[in-house]
Structure 1
């Protein structure tokens, strides 16, 4: 396993097969992808002999805004580059990883590509060269484009060994992984038939099939039919893939590359070199040829090529064996995808090993008897080949026209661990996109993919958390089953304006810990059953409390035992629940900016803030409960009304005390039951609400005074320290930062009034939380937050809002915080059995922007429309490669006749004429429709400008604003933050009294 390489992600685009599932369906159905040449490639009437082949649809589509490529540059880019970028993105997602997570990593990119047809078409004498055409037409830039746009720092190279290019790229990627030059490798091949030129060459060489079809190993094989193709695999070391729980399609056991050298012609194959590359690959893989069940052959369908390859295969595999080695070639379905031929065969083989069936080889029913296959220990795959249990070994060959040969040995993946029946649990399903419209599009794509799966969705949710995050617009929802999830996704896709969230910063979260009176039998039992992390932390608290309580509180909670609300157990049980909730959220990545505990809730708050250890807090809260259980009975009365009425009441009832101040209209009185009942009646007569609380004692009143010295003595044994997190003290009504919660604090805290309102005011005023999360078995404090006037602009959340709560409510909290900018540690939300990879629908790119070949003239500077793509409704929308997109908004005339940017920031001195000049120059350089640019659009992240485009921009601004004179680049660069910042800078260069843009 140490040297084995796992295929963990796949994406592809072949004729009549857009995507992995479509490709597999084509193969299983023995489909034929050969058809007439599309009219946008060349005139078939002019070249009728090469008018058929395998042609993919939509090769002019490119979501340039997603990759922050200006329209003018996108038009100049080789369509090989345009097709490869989204395919790599989808393959990385298929590997179970968000492409954004690889940014800055040592991921390598190895791309096989044959020739440079786009360069020949666009850089010929009939077009004027531009920098965009220079970079866009270079075959060597294909891999570099991927590395640049995804910010990948590992090896990045294009490989051209003719027809073996992409399999050689796989070999190089494998070697880089084995030498630890990179930890993840993207290996790919891409080929587009853009002109009839190479087909005419094949024809003159006698290699072209008249009907455009390859017929591998068939009696009527008569040559090559050319085809389009893009294939991408993501590779990792097998040990790393298994450790991270990745899905493994197949395992690469070994590979080899060699050359024919001086043979019987530079374009003629060599049997001896083919035999040698096969033998070398098997030796490196530690596999004897008789173990190879099937070979995906090069199989072009030429008379000479098929004969030589079968002779080589027979020499290596025709050893004494129980059954012949099966051979086939995907070229019978697709045609010859040339630079992508090897990756097409590798993907077919990996999928066959994954699904444990090898598809029928098209044209195999007309076997060429002159190849003597049976005599050589070979056979064609004339019907689907079912693979037995256990490891199956297969080979893939690809041979280049110039004599570079490659062979890769694959084996089926280790059997994954299959968990037994796992109780369903809620998860958070995430989707991200580059825009609100992109989010809507991808919600619909995911809805279609999950519908009808008919099983619990926890694994789907976990997979989405790994692969479908990282883009700026965030969506998250909770679900327990696939049908519910599909329905929610469809519904929310219809209202993207409400659900498309683009957070600008991480949320600021305050934890509020509930106080006395919130306990009930069976509290959090559903959460305990659903969520392993909560279960672990509650058991941890229970173990810390058991020496002091003499019993397991968890057992009482799960049994719904009434004793959990008794005087001696209610406070320890509440502490255990609050501790477990806070630790679970912290493990999920929710780290509070401040904490506040109401009464006994301060103990769990102190542990969360790092002021007390679990063991000390457990001992102290158990001692507090035991001491208070010995006090004479009493009660508490919650009052809703103005403070003046409460003060007047207290003046006439000396037996009562003000125990809690929750806010301007929320107070709690404590004292004997008779006095509380008199107070309740008097307040009711005044039209005020008063409610007796279900508590056995007059907490936070003089009735507690007798136990204060004993509490102080118990607290003196605890190790105390200053809070590490701002602690809003309800004893003092203010934030503590570097003050230790010492014995004196805990002694007096039990008897003095709870100043919740003041503490909350301090927390909100000084910390400015975006979210308040109440931790306790049911909501008590969040209502007080709203009535105290602190709820405006703050989201209030509760992970366990009552007896019916399960793990779903906590998942809802994580979903809400994720939408607001939190990046959780998702694994803690799922049981280990649910953390297994599931395939999700690939990212749905915008296929409306079109860049047909005629648009190369736009990039070359010719006047063709406005430089955008045909029918490109979103050509001017811009966002960055890292996932940042400028907010869409058209520039519109302001009341002074100038240009104002919707959502833009006006700057002093940015005169409308200057803004118009900058917008016009940017539109001209980048090919953006001026009406689609926003003043806030950033040059590098959103508009995709580079140093060459900056120099072009300088020239155009000088032409449009002659009054600014010649611009110095060093002075210009600091102003190139956004269109607005540049306009402000230029306005400051206009001489006083001069009219911008006028001589």
Structure 2
């Protein structure tokens, strides 16, 4: 069979909440057995079954994160609640953002034994509700994951008793191999909610008096039960390799069989167990002597251990270099029943990943009756270090009804186990060793964002200090997709940890900005291309060193320009050649920079809604807008720069007054002309050097700001007349194509309509004044950008835009704001746009060596809401840290009455606003919504959305209809079809009902 990669893991076991904690428990041979937690049954009533592997916090659930109402969450089986959170974290661990799997053929295969919750909650028929119907169904456990994550692959819950979860793995593997799914979640879940099964074990003589399983030990005296939730994410190995995923281990083969009619339906069969081992090894293509260790079922019952060892010995008792190591995690956790197979598989995958097999508890007093040594087996009394090369291991799980399963695992291919190929980590020519990345994090609420910022900060701080780019790249893949966004740039992990700690301690509004970035909100960006006068030696050299994308696009521009310039723009820039200030060099260099920056931004997903170019900047703008090809623009710019180099010397002067105020001075100096109108109080004058000297002295004497531009010619003046004919001759050979993106023309001072960018246009824009201020006003008015982004080697146009007043309310961005700029400034632009709602193509930002898969701390869910005995319990006091659970790593979330994203966004004042309906109608709707969903009234505000925030479905809508009718009898019967369009938010429903009441109260005509 083909190989299947284990690419993601999350688990929740007693005393081990998360994969790292589980591995730590195993390494220290930890004992997770203890007394009964308070939220279970009363220990005094059933003392014989009051010890075991019980996990704290199984009543906590972040219902708002999954848009589940409190009433529905209270009705949900805790197995469903815990599995939802565990599945999310496992997908993150696989290097994928869970929202990215929405709509895919991802399958969910869950092993779960029994259905205690349904029996506990639906036995009293007086309290049966529609929510309990779904909440108490074991079959819904897998469906919940598929529904809430919007997965469209197979979704099923399998119950084969104690082998359930490893059978789920078998089904998931076969689904992947058949092509039915491309990703599969295999899970096991087992929570000990009542003493019932423990009493069965006791009556069968299978219960350990101290609640501990002691696998293969002379002290073995029965089963101790344990809680467990575990999820692995599986993919075909070739797909995982192609994506560069981290692979914990490889599943080489699985097999399932049945005891058939043996010596009792609940008794194990040695022969069936032996056959399932042999079948698994055949499918895996291995021989028993290649299997280095086996994670056994190992319940610690006298009969079970004896039969399992006999079967293992029959298969593994062959000539081999050393005995096959044997262990069972049940010695640490107890028997996690429906999750037991995955508990063993995860232990095995981690052992292969770390190349270290933990010692087994109770191995020091081996049961001599098992004759392990003569059967080619040995218990691990100390950890076993695995050699280099491939190691093969087996995992067994047997169900009480006779369904047996065995899986064969092996170490991952070396280049993947190490976190990426060596070739991918070799620095590219011209690059530096430490580049800036953007670390991203998203959450469902401002409180959730702060909570997870603190967790990520602690995790990053615990790492050895080093480059942060690969860690940032992993965050871009994994920590995205939720409505509240955070992004920061960093070069190393020390800097990143400090930024995360600072953000975690900041006010929530300061972290997420003044508004959230919902899925329907996207920034709109206009590009402003800088013209001549912004050039300087070595411009963008830092960005060239740190951005592979920029290097590639600058080389494209250089190749296009070289046949027409006779020199290399790239060498000119990187050599900090002072000739760049001369016109024949400056204009091609600025064009190359503008083109390369725009192309780099485009590759990152930053695409303009409109473009504007200032003078020579219009050529790069025209390429970006699709009106000129790179080759056409390169030739035009090269010819333009060379021709203008022939002109006599001249000068240009930037003046801080308006067109009308400069007119008298120009009238007195006929050789000087108005060259640019950049705003109401920003003009540029062009003319002979001596003339501009006189104008500058006069302006300064009057206290007017005047600054000489760094150019050697009087551009946009009659002085260009001698070269315009030759410029026209070259431009006439260029095809005139209309821009594909709205183009703000600085020649016309407005958006282009039907006018082509033909020869007449290019000649006119060289000689006529630049009407930047008017063009910018037109761009802002007609394209309504949220951000203005200047494309050039340093800010020149953004200050003009700021002074003009035409861009009020717009954010200004610059990817290369000066000589010291490098990759960080580009990263900061992307970070700002991400916070505003852009979803960039992150890979373009990073060097190939930084694209490895780094493991991040998993999402930390809120533990504020707790659900006990089918009811929502009060949150723990703010000064009391709730027990660390699968959703908690020791931090406490401050209590908040507003838990939904919309409510959190509205908490600053929207909650008190009146809707179009009366206060009475609004109050009635809020009360009805609260009752149907089980919310407190203060949790519902007018902007709360029914589907996205409250998780309403058709059943809840019908219940809402009934409750509103009871509270507002004047309405009479509500038409559900007419009500549905109004169910956008609480406010829109109140408005709709208010209109209906008003219409019914109006006198007949």
TM class, shorter-chain normalised?
over 0.9
Q: CA 1:878/1:848 → structure 2, altered by over 3 Å: closer, same or farther?
A: closer
Superposition deviation, residue 77 in structure 1 = 0.8
Other-structure match for 1:435 = 445
Counterpart of 2:977 in structure 1 is 970
Task: Give the Cα separation in 2 of the matches to 1:529 and 1:650.
Answer: 46
- Structure 2 residue aligned with 1:988, among 977, 995, 1002? 995
**Residue 766 (str. 1) matches residue 782 (str. 2):** yes
Alpha-carbon separation, structure 1, partners of 2:607 and 2:561: 25
Q: The residue matched to 1:697 in structure 2 has which SS?
A: coil
Q: Which of 717, 723, 733 is the matching residue for 2:739?
A: 723
Partner of 1:239: 238
Q: Aligned pair 1:927/2:934, yes or no?
A: yes
1:649-688 to structure 2, matched below 5 A, reads: 649-688=665-704
Matched, 1:830 2:846: yes
1:291–1:928 distance in 2 versus 1, CA, 3 Å? same
1:283 equivalenced with 2:282 (yes/no): yes
Counterpart mapping for 1:534-573 below 5 A: 534-573=550-589
Paired position in structure 2 for 1:77: 76
Shift in Å at residue 498 of structure 1? 1.3
The answer to whether the Cα contact below 8 Å between 1:656 and 1:676 also exists between their aligned partners in 2 is yes
Asked whether the 8 Å contact 1:936–1:980 carries over to 2, the reply is: yes
Contact 1:888–1:932 at 8 Å: present in 2 too? no
Does residue 906 of the first structure (1) align with residue 915 of the second (2)?
yes
Deviation at 1:874, TM superposition (A): 6.4
Q: Distance in 1 between matches of 2:209 and 2:986?
A: 56
Structure 1 partner of 2:773: 757
Within the candidate set 431, 434, 440, 1:424 is matched to 434
Q: Per-residue CA shift, 1:449-507, capped at 9, x if unaligned? A: 10142110000000000000000000000000111111111111222211214124101
State the shift of 1:68 in Å.
0.7
Q: Contact 2:220–2:302 (CA<8 Å) still a contact in 1? A: yes
Whole-Å Cα distance in 1 between the matches of residues 313 and 737 of structure 2?
A: 78
Q: Does residue 499 of structure 1 match 2:511?
A: yes
Could you tell me which runs of 5 or more consecutive residues in structure 1 were left unpaired when the two chains were aligned: 859-870, 893-900
Q: Determine helix, strand or coil for the equivalent of 1:988.
A: helix
Aligned to 2:707, what secondary structure does the other structure show? strand
CA contact (8 A) 2:867 2:873 kept: no
Distance of 2:43 and 2:393 partners within structure 1: 40
Alpha-carbon distance, 1:307 to partner = 0.8
**Cα distance in 1 for residues equivalent to 2:488 and 2:495:** 11
CA positional deviation for 1:409: 1.0
SS in 2 for 1:717: coil
Deviations 1:732-751 (A, max 9, x none): 11111543211111122211
Structure 2 distance, partners of 1:220, 1:691, is 92
- Partner of 2:277, secondary structure, is helix
Give how far 1:359 is off. 0.6
User: How many Å separate the matches in 1 of 2:139 and 2:679?
Assistant: 68
Task: Report the TM-score, using the length of structure 2 for normalisation.
Answer: 0.94
TM-score (norm 1): 0.95
Deviation, structure 1 residue 877: 4.2
Task: Quote how far apart the aligned CAs of 1:987 are.
Answer: 2.1
**Residues 217-366 of structure 1: matches in 2 within 5 Å?**
217-366=216-365
Q: How does 1:54-453 map to 2 (within 5 A)?
A: 54-125=53-124, 128-416=127-415, 417-418=421-422, 419-420=425-426, 423-453=433-463
2:836 matches 1:820 = yes
Task: Kindly state the Cα deviation for residue 528 of structure 1 after the two structures are TM-superposed.
Answer: 0.3
With over 3 angstroms needed to count, the CA separation of the structure-2 counterparts of 1:885 and 1:67, relative to structure 1, is farther
Query: C-alpha deviations, 1:799-858, integer Å up to 9, x for none?
Result: 001110010000000000000011000000001110011111111111111111252899
What residue in structure 2 maps to residue 463 of structure 1? Answer: 474
Matched, 1:786 2:802: yes
Superposed CA offset, 1:591-624 (max 9, x none): 0000000110001000000000111111110011
Deviations 1:45-82 (A, max 9, x none): 22111111001110110011111111111111111111
> Could you list the per-position Cα deviations for residues 556-615 of structure 1 after superposition, in whole angstroms to 9, with x for gaps in the alignment?
211212122223211101111110000000000000000000110001000000000111
CA–CA separation in structure 2 for the residues paired with 1:719 and 1:399: 75
Matches within 5 A, 1:763-912: 763-853=779-869, 855=871, 877=898, 879=900, 885-887=902-904, 889=906, 902=911, 906-907=915-916, 910-912=917-919
1:586 to 602, 606, 609: 602
- SS of 1:233's equivalent in the other structure is strand
Match of 1:622 in 2: 638
Residues 935-954 of structure 1: matches in 2 within 5 Å?
935-954=942-961
> Post-superposition shift, 1:903?
6.8
Between the aligned partners of 2:198 and 2:820, the Cα distance in structure 1 is 70
For residues 954 and 139 of structure 2, what CA distance do their matches in structure 1 show? 20
Aligned 8 A contact 1:506 1:821 in 2: yes
**What does residue range 597-636 of structure 1 map to in structure 2 within 5 Å?**
597-636=613-652
Give 1:678 deviation, angstroms. Answer: 0.5
For residue 96 of structure 1, give the secondary structure of its aligned residue in structure 2.
coil
Counterpart in the other structure of 2:493: 482
User: Cα RMSD (Å) of the superposition?
Assistant: 1.8
Task: Label 1:661 to 1:413 Cα distance change in 2 as closer, same or farther (>3 A).
Answer: same
What secondary structure is seen at the aligned counterpart in 1 of 2:408? strand
